[in-house]
């Protein structure tokens, strides 16, 4: 076998072994490209439109339905600008009513409400406003969805009845 990994026919050289190791490492690093989409995994007690959801997302969905939004008007986990890829976003809810489009971000306080995290949340909202002109973009936080009654008042004020 020579230094370039070429050997007798049927034997794998060092180049082939390195190439295989690199391919395996890249596949492990890009799980979204090679494995089942994590949104489709049915883990946890909450589901919205066949996808796993947080307790806040589930409460939002149920409240929207109680406010009269129909299933065909509600889209859950909508990918824009590449979705979960760098630079992309996942919109929690997109509501399509007569002549109106609402985008709802459902945010937990820990990850989105304070300091730099809140600034990033606001920047994401601005990006969506530029990409979807005419859409009304709103964020709801944990305290806006603390109980069913609070969620109803909050969502009624922000998006109204379906």
Neighbours of 91 (CB within 10 A): 22
With tokens 């992309």, the residue in question is: 88
Instruction: State the Cα–Cα distance between residues 64 and 99, nearest whole angstrom.
Output: 18
Secondary structure (3-state) at 139:
strand
Instruction: Flag whether pLDDT at 25 surpasses 60.
Output: no
State the average pLDDT for the chain.
78
Q: With contact defined as beta carbons under 8 Å apart, do 78 and 91 qualify? A: yes
HEC string for 58-114: HHHHHHHHHCCCCHHHEEEEEEECCCCCCCCEEEEEEEEECCEEEEEEEECHHHHCC
pLDDT in tens, 26-51: 455 444 443 444 444 444 588 999 88
* Measured distance CA(95)–CA(101) in Å, rounded: 6
pLDDT > 70: percent of the chain: 69
Tell me what percent of the residues of the chain surpass a pLDDT of 90.
38
Is pLDDT above 90 for 87? no
pTM of the model: 0.68
pLDDT-based confidence at residue 114 (cuts at 50, 70, 90): low
Distance of CA 77 to the CA centre of its chain: 5
**How far out from the chain centre does Cα 120 lie?**
15
Those residues with Cβ within 8 angstroms of residue 153's Cβ, 6 or more apart along the chain or in another chain = none
Here the tokens at position 61 are: 């969905």
pLDDT range class, residue 62, cuts 50, 70, 90: very high
């Amino acid at each position: 076998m020579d230094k370039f990994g070429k050997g007798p026919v049927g034997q794998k050289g060092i180049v082939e072994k390195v190439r295989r190791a690199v391919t395996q490492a890249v596949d492990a690093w890009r799980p979204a490209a090679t494995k089942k989409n994590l949104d489709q995994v049915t883990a946890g007690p909450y589901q919205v439109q066949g996808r796993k959801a947080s307790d806040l997302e589930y409460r939002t969905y149920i409240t929207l339905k109680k406010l009269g939004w129909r299933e065909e008007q509600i889209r859950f986990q909508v990918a824009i600008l590449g979705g979960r890829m760098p630079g992309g976003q996942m919109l929690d809810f997109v509501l399509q009513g007569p002549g109106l489009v609402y985008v709802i971000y459902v945010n937990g306080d820990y990850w989105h409400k304070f300091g730099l995290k809140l600034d990033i949340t606001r920047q994401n909202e601005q990006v969506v406003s530029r990409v979807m002109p005419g859409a009304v973009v709103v964020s709801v936080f944990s305290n806006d969805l603390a109980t069913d009654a609070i969620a109803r008042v909050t969502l009624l004020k922000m998006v109204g009845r379906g």
